[in-house]
Amino acid sequence: MKKLFLIFLITVFIGSSSHAQPKPYLILISVDGFRWDYANRGITPNIDYMKINGVSALSLRPDFPSKTFPNHYAIVTGMYPENNGLIENTFYDPYTKETYKISDSLQVKNGKWYLGEAFWETARRNGIKTASYFWPGSEMNPEYRRPDYFEHYQHSRPFEERVNGVINWLKLPYTERPHFITLYFEATDDAGHKYGPDSKEVNEAIKKEDAMIGLLLKKLSDINLSDSTDIILVSDHGMTSISNKRMVNVENILKHYSQPDDAAKIFYQSSGPLMMIQPEKTKVNEVYQILKNNKDHFEVFTKDNIPACYHFSNNAFIPDIILIADMGWSLVDNNSIKWMKNTEEGGNHGYDNFALDMNGIFFAIGPDFKKGYKTGTINNIDIYPLMCRIFNITPRSNIDGKLENIEYILKGY
Ligand code: AMP
Ligand code: ZN
Ligand code: ZN
């Protein structure tokens, strides 16, 4: 009985002491397509400030495929795309015949595609107010799966307005104020696609985004929240140069199967860095063998033999055959070749996520992070358990990320 009473006392003590801790503020910022080395070009004074006063990782490894929605959603769920549901920016549900597409706002809002639990939902369940100034998945239905406050995505929304929006949330009365906020900028991705990663336009985009980090830091200081706010700055993937001189027309390789009277119709999904194709079920092996025997600047796998490191098979919507282009090459079919032909020089991502060019950035600063600490490559799926640790809340049990891979960047470890 005495023992039970002691356990009761200890539980009450631990419970009350963790409640007594002030809740941190955490701002998670994404700069889309910001390649790992962009921060080493000597044009990012505000990121340099974060490096000196916080944690800087050599790079942030995305998941396969190194695309925008699969990776943003992996960051906030701690789950690989095969498990979080967003296997590509565009993909097809062969059972309902619906297509998820990031430009289709109805589908983007449809919660059926999102199989993970985003950090804002975990936080809300734990009584933490959350907000999002843009993030893939932040607009989904039903309401309880979204952040408490959110904005509908608008590509043209001025960046200063986004920063001001975050600051305005932090100026709300304490009981209404969010403690977790996301913020998103797409300038580096836009310029990277259009002009390539080594262009002066990308450097301008880098400077513009870095200036927004500076503006946010300044405004946080103006409202006296610098000392109580953690900031994690990430990107979803990197970027590599492409050219219309480096194209492979996969439909040409399979032209025998593309004849209208042929029984083996092939359904092409995605183009560029990766292509997924679905032949008739009885023809999968045959089509795979043809592609394997005519491999030209790409790798080809079936859903059953794709290397485990890609974590890209455990999902009913992944087609049976997956092709990954060599870095800088583009896979096309007779349809997509038309617009690829106009891309004389530019950039793209979506390739092998272990390739250095596909790596993004990870920097963190604030009361919970070590100061001036440099580490190697971090996996983006480990960020969700890290954020749960910062708020002392329990992560979902079915995630892929691991706290022990990343917690050493926190103070006290
Ligand atoms: P991609 O380069 O094709 O992987 O995707 C990048 C594009 O995704 C950006 O240029 C944005 O226009 C778009 N995007 C980013 N966030 C969102 C969002 N929350 N809702 C809709 N589109 C988005
Ligand atoms: Zn992106
Ligand atoms: Zn992009």
Domains of the chain: 24-240+354-409 (3.40.720.10), 245-342 (3.30.1360.180)
- Other Cβ atoms closer than 10 A to 291: 22
Residue 263 makes CB contacts below 8 A (sequence gap 6+) with 280, 283
Position 12 scores a pLDDT of 43
Question: Does residue 68 line the site of ligand 1, with CB under 6 A?
Answer: yes
Ligand nearest to the CA of 184: 1
Distance CA 411, CA 369 (A): 5
Position 266 scores a pLDDT of 78
Residue 16 makes CB contacts below 8 A (sequence gap 6+) with none
Q: Which of 78, 172, 152 is nearest to 122 (CA)?
A: 78
CA of 157 to the centre of ligand 3 (A): 18
* Residue identifier of the C-alpha nearest atom 20 of ligand 1: 153
Distance CA 49, CA 51 (A): 5
Atom of ligand 1 at shortest range from CA of 137:
19
Around ion ligand 2, residues with a beta carbon closer than 5 Å are 32-33, 68, 189, 236
How many residues does this entry show for the chain?
413
**pLDDT, tens digit (0-9, with 9 covering 90-100), for 29-63:** 999 999 999 999 999 999 999 999 999 999 999 99
Distance CA 348, CA 242 (A): 6
Question: Does residue 153 line the site of ligand 1, with CB under 6 A?
Answer: yes
Locate 180 and state its tokens. Answer: 């977790």
* Residue identifier of the C-alpha nearest atom 7 of ligand 1: 68
Q: Kindly list the catalytic residues.
A: 68
Position 267 scores a pLDDT of 84
196: number of CA atoms within 13 Å, CB side? Answer: 11
Position 56 scores a pLDDT of 98
- CB contact at 8 A, 228 and 25: yes
From first to last of the 413 residues of the chain, give the pLDDT tens digit. 455 454 444 444 444 444 446 789 999 999 999 999 999 999 999 999 999 999 999 999 999 999 999 999 999 999 999 999 999 999 999 999 999 999 999 999 999 999 999 999 999 999 999 999 999 999 999 999 999 999 999 999 999 999 999 999 999 999 999 999 999 999 999 999 999 999 999 999 999 999 999 999 999 999 999 999 999 999 999 999 999 999 999 999 998 665 555 545 778 888 899 999 999 899 999 999 999 999 999 999 999 999 999 999 999 999 999 999 999 999 999 888 887 777 778 999 999 999 999 999 999 999 999 999 999 999 999 999 999 999 999 999 999 999 999 999 999 99
Residue 368 makes CB contacts below 8 A (sequence gap 6+) with 24, 230, 390, 410, 411
- CB contact at 8 A, 268 and 333: yes
Is the whole model's pTM more than 0.75, yes or no?
yes
**pLDDT, tens digit (0-9, with 9 covering 90-100), for 361-394:** 999 999 999 999 999 999 999 999 999 999 999 9
- CB contact at 8 A, 396 and 268: no
Atom of ligand 1 at shortest range from CA of 136:
19
Atom of ligand 1 at shortest range from CA of 138:
19
- CB contact at 8 A, 274 and 323: yes
* Residue identifier of the C-alpha nearest atom 22 of ligand 1: 102
Ligand 1 pocket test, candidate residues 87, 153, 343, most atoms within 8 A of CB: 153
Q: Which of 363, 383, 406 is nearest to 50 (CA)?
A: 363
* Residue identifier of the C-alpha nearest atom 3 of ligand 1: 68
Position 262 scores a pLDDT of 54
CA of 349 to the centre of ligand 3 (A): 6
Question: Does residue 136 line the site of ligand 1, with CB under 6 A?
Answer: yes
Atom of ligand 1 at shortest range from CA of 237:
4
CA of 193 to the centre of ligand 3 (A): 6
Alpha helices by DSSP H, listed for 150-243, are: 159-170, 187-195, 200-222
Q: Give the DSSP per-residue string, 85-125.
A: S--SSEEEETTTTEEEETT-HHHHTBGGG--S--HHHHHHH
Ligand 1 pocket test, candidate residues 146, 189, 237, most atoms within 8 A of CB: 189
Question: Does residue 155 line the site of ligand 1, with CB under 6 A?
Answer: yes
Question: Does residue 133 line the site of ligand 1, with CB under 6 A?
Answer: no
Distance CA 106, CA 43 (A): 39
**Interstrand relation of 25-31 and 180-185 (parallel, antiparallel or unpaired):** parallel
- Give every strand in the sheet of 149-150, ordered side by side: 149-150, 130-133, 180-185, 25-31, 229-234, 362-365, 55-61, 373-379
CA of 104 to the centre of ligand 1 (A): 11
What Cα–Cα distance (Å) separates residue 252 from each residue in 202, 332, 334?
34, 9, 8
Question: Does residue 107 line the site of ligand 1, with CB under 6 A?
Answer: no
Kindly state the DSSP code that residue 294 receives in the 8-state scheme: T
Question: Does residue 100 line the site of ligand 1, with CB under 6 A?
Answer: no
Distance CA 163, CA 177 (A): 16
Distance CA 98, CA 353 (A): 27
Position 342 scores a pLDDT of 77
